[in-house]
């Protein structure tokens, strides 16, 4: 499930690509979805600032990553899939929810909430990375997730405060490089929540994908 195209206002592209590579290596068939809604705003990634005069659609932008093969999130059903995975990027906190603005009082996109609840109820695994575990913490009360460490450690974990927000949302935060909540079948990894080499992020995402596939029992 994508949230746009670009780390500051949509899906983190390296995370989406890593997930797709690991899914391919694991032999999975993949269908990509995104909500058909306007983005919260558009960020000029060369400046890190909002582009005031622009507006973009989350589904249209996500189609860039999906190479055009994408459907509206409203069409995603548990009957058609064994698992669901959410990459990170600020789009998860801006377009899939209002977490970037409202923190613990955030609202989650109606279709995103439906998908999370439906897969949870069906006992099918849910994978999330980077900031997207906040979605599970908000919707699935008591879910165990990780966004990495709870202290910045000299800038290595610049978004460490998110761990506290997860607790306020009703989730349980685990200080790990990857975590499997076997009860809720929720698998999470920090990805770009950590300032580290790209291959470490790629490997962490690989562990998440591997565990999601394992939980499908296929």
In this structure, is residue 97 part of a structural domain? yes
> For residues 121 and 86, what is the distance between their CA atoms, to the nearest angstrom?
17
In this structure, is residue 37 part of a structural domain? yes
* pLDDT level of residue 140 (50, 70, 90 thresholds): very high
pLDDT, tens digit, for every residue of 103-128?
A: 999 999 999 999 999 999 999 999 99
The answer to whether 3 and 91 are in contact (CB under 8 A) is yes
In this structure, is residue 2 part of a structural domain? no
Domain that holds residue 165: 13-216
In this structure, is residue 7 part of a structural domain? no
The pLDDT of residue 115: 98
pTM above 0.85, yes or no: yes
Q: Which of 207, 201, 13, 26 is nearest to 127 (CA)?
A: 207
The pLDDT of residue 214: 98
106 catalytic per annotation: no
In this structure, is residue 1 part of a structural domain? no
> For residues 127 and 133, what is the distance between their CA atoms, to the nearest angstrom?
8
Q: Which of 10, 196, 61, 30 is nearest to 127 (CA)?
A: 30
The pLDDT of residue 122: 98
* pLDDT level of residue 165 (50, 70, 90 thresholds): very high
How many domains is the chain built from?
1
Question: Catalytic pick from 5, 129, 130, 194?
Answer: 130
Query: What does the block give as tokens for 107?
Result: 């609202």
> For residues 1 and 115, what is the distance between their CA atoms, to the nearest angstrom?
10
* pLDDT level of residue 142 (50, 70, 90 thresholds): very high
pLDDT, tens digit, for every residue of 52-85?
A: 999 999 999 999 999 999 999 999 999 999 999 9
> For residues 174 and 154, what is the distance between their CA atoms, to the nearest angstrom?
20
Residue 45's CATH number: 3.40.50.880
In this structure, is residue 3 part of a structural domain? no
* CA geometry: angle 53, 32, 94, nearest 5 deg: 40
**CB atoms near residue 29 (< 10 Å):** 8
In this structure, is residue 67 part of a structural domain? yes
In this structure, is residue 92 part of a structural domain? yes
The pLDDT of residue 26: 97
């Amino acid at each position: 499930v994508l949230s746009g195209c670009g780390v500051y206002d949509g899906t983190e592209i390296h995370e989406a690509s890593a997930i797709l590579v690991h899914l391919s290596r694991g032999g999975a068939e993949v269908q990509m979805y995104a909500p058909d809604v306007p983005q919260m705003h558009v960020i000029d990634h060369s400046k890190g600032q909002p582009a005031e005069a622009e507006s973009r659609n989350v589904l249209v932008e996500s189609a860039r990553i999906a190479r055009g093969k994408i459907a509206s999130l409203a069409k995603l059903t548990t009957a058609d899939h064994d698992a669901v995975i959410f990459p990170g990027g600020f789009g998860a906190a801006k377009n899939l929810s209002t977490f970037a603005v409202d923190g613990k009082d955030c609202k989650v996109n109606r279709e995103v909430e439906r998908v999370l609840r439906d897969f949870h109820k069906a006992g099918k695994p849910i994978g999330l990375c980077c900031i997207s575990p906040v979605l599970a913490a908000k919707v699935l009360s008591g879910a165990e997730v990780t966004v990495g460490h709870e202290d910045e450690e000299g800038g290595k974990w610049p978004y460490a405060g998110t761990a506290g927000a997860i607790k306020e949302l009703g989730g349980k935060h685990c200080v790990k490089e990857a975590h499997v909540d076997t009860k809720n079948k929720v698998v999470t990894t920090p990805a770009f929540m950590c300032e580290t080499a790209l291959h470490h992020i790629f490997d962490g995402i690989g562990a998440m994908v591997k565990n999601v596939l394992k939980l499908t029992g296929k």
